[in-house]
Structure 1
């Protein structure tokens, strides 16, 4: 029998491995549906080490927005998704007071399914340098969030771990919060480019595709880390298994192969705007 590991970065899918009526100690789940916008929101809170072990995810809050029409070129709908996402980001970032926020765009610009982070950072309103140079008067507002960004690339390009780069920047610029944007892996192809997950538990770059790198978390960086991700790939072996229901039907060569939609370049451009607009709204 062929053995393969079902890969997913989504806490929602980790919870779906269990029967709906099965209670996982230390894990709370809340669901809500915005009928007007056709957006389903699932909040998974992992409270204890027991819950973290069962879920295979660190302790923290994971908010998943499922928007089926997000794969469509509907700018009005994407704006609605951005507004919905911004509402949750404001709560998790706690932007009532002025903050300095470093936004990190993870991924490889040269690999389209992995370019979500760098593309999203391109569209952010960066303010830190302006405030430092001219003060808040430049924005004619009493409260201005200091936003800075970095695209650290991948180890094959830099020879450095992302954690090393981010930790060095944090030590030098001293932001209050780090926001990390990254492409994720999903178990279900139906969630590709239609789902956004935000989490206060940080992120482990490359975990969904088996390329584990050092985690970006509060423990490793020293300040709160908020992760935003969209699943852009799904394991090919999982697709075959879901279609057949038979593990023995999964060819060994499919392990480690990942599938992405053929229009992924268009999707990444659209989704990067959706996420950046949400952050711009939340940090305005």
Structure 2
């Protein structure tokens, strides 16, 4: 069966609700922060819940902002502040001075995949200054040690991102790792308008189906917080959305209503099979991104980096 894939736990939960699947061991809550800003939380508590959701146990917090792709500094500042609040909620390390390694996953040369590296470009890095001059160089009693790395992709380095990060973790011994990566969405309306934060880590390359070794606490020995933004959808999503709109339009036409009813009677399996036949063999590996992705990634990278800077530098959220 051809699966329409998504990296967002929120979308998986929604799909389960649509299919009327009873999810045991999964909790869901929603908070409307403002008119155009919603924070949803999916907590997978049991192994059965993880199996049903096809995602690791843990907490998945999704910040949805319908105007995230617009140029509004005050609005993006609000998103950054909410991201800082979410990070405080997920990071379990409770120390006055915390060592944080931030990993910008992705390929800088491919715009939809450049989010991680561009976030790192805008971070306020402190570890080298503290090592050289001490924390009092900042005029504060407590300062978090922030370091960063952009490991590139396997085609550039010949190494898994996990291997590179694991070596750095063993050498620098951070208390927590925060990884940023691009994701894939099921709903085109969520492209560049959604930030998912989770305490389960991440699989580099998962956004386009290139599953590499996971970057998580089990693989590198320290807690891993993952921040992701969907920047692409696969072709199957476009076809599925188009089919739904086509059936709706047909049902409103007297001439095409019979055909619309026939297509509407297809179950999910039959629809997936039809989509697979339509996509094969040339389109089933195609991913689509908006035409203004360069501006969107630039804007989002500033928003996420500001959230990280607020959390790690402006306020000591861990103490």
Taking structure 1 as the reference length, the TM-score comes to 0.96
Larger Rg: 2
Report the equivalent of 2:133: 134
1:184 corresponds in structure 2 to 183
CA contact (8 A) 1:4 1:255 kept: no
1:147 pairs with 2:124: no
| Residue 15 of structure 2: aligned partner | 17
CA apart distance, 1:97: 2.2
Match of 2:293 among 252, 260, 264: 264
RMSD: 1.3
SS at match of 1:76: helix
2:232 aligned partner: 233
Q: State the shift of 1:4 in Å.
A: 2.4
1:202-231 Cα offsets, whole Å, 9 max, x none, are 001112311110000000000000000000
Give 1:136 deviation, angstroms.
Answer: 1.0
Structure 1 stretch 248-257 or stretch 6-15: which is displaced more?
Answer: 248-257
Give 5+ residue unaligned stretches, structure 1.
none
1:229-276 deviation digits (Å, cap 9, x = unpaired): 000000112111121144425321221111100000000000000000
Partner SS, residue 76 of structure 2? helix
After the TM superposition, which segments of 4 or more aligned residues of structure 1 sit over 3 Å from their partners?
20-23
Given candidates 303, 306, 309, the residue that maps to 1:274 is 303
Structure 1 residue 95 displacement after superposition: 5.8
The alignment covers a number of residue pairs equal to 281
2:254 alignment partner in structure 1: none
- In the TM superposition, 1:33-44 aligns within 5 A as 33-36=32-35, 38-44=36-42
Matched, 1:254 2:283: yes
Per the alignment, residue 175 of structure 1 pairs with 174
Q: How far is 1:22 from its partner?
A: 4.5
TM-score, structure 2 as length reference: 0.85
Partner of 2:68: 70
